[in-house]
């Protein structure tokens, strides 16, 4: 039974929306993220044991504080012959959502994002050097 890896992800949740795509000819992943209405630039997409990790810097402040966003998406495989799907990521729940003529079925998933702030460096503050805001995401993955 041949499976095809999903190459297009759309997701939303807790004031975050995004799209992650693999360029068809080059196989290079690109991401477009929006946080609280702000489009984030310079995203980096990597593959890890968690799935796909999308990282970007949200804000660099003059006091040394930096805010980052990490989005984790499951790797998803699709069997277009019989609509069976397989997805893998901590906390993800893949399901078949439907298909249009000539396309593979979309797979719904849940996952998460972490908005984290580094407070002036590890020795510049009393207390925790980082703070974390974990946000739930849901979306669809497909092969286009």
Residue-by-residue pLDDT tens, the chain, 144 positions:
678 899 999 999 999 999 999 876 677 899 999 999 999 988 899 999 999 999 999 998 877 789 999 999 999 999 876 444 445 444 554 455 544 444 567 999 999 999 999 987 556 567 788 899 999 999 999 998
Please state, in angstroms and rounded to a whole number, the distance separating the CA atoms of residues 23 and 118.
32
| Residue count of the chain | 144
80 touches 96 (CB < 8 A): no
DSSP code string of 88-104: E-TT---EEEE--TTSP
Please state, in angstroms and rounded to a whole number, the distance separating the CA atoms of residues 9 and 58.
21
The reported pTM is 0.80
């Amino acid at each position: 039974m041949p499976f095809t890896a999903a190459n297009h992800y759309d997701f939303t949740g807790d004031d975050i929306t995004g799209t992650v795509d693999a360029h068809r000819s080059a196989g290079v992943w690109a991401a477009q993220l929006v946080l609280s209405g702000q489009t984030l630039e310079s995203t980096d997409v990597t593959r890890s044991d968690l799935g796909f990790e999308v990282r970007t810097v949200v804000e660099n402040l003059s006091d040394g504080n930096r805010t980052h966003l990490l989005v984790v998406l499951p790797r998803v495989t699709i069997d277009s012959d019989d609509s069976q799907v397989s997805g893998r990521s901590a906390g993800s729940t893949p399901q078949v959502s439907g298909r249009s003529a000539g396309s593979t079925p979309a797979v719904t998933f849940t996952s998460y994002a972490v908005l984290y702030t580094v407070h002036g460096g590890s020795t510049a503050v009393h207390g925790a050097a980082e703070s974390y805001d974990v946000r739930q995401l849901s979306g669809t993955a497909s092969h286009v």
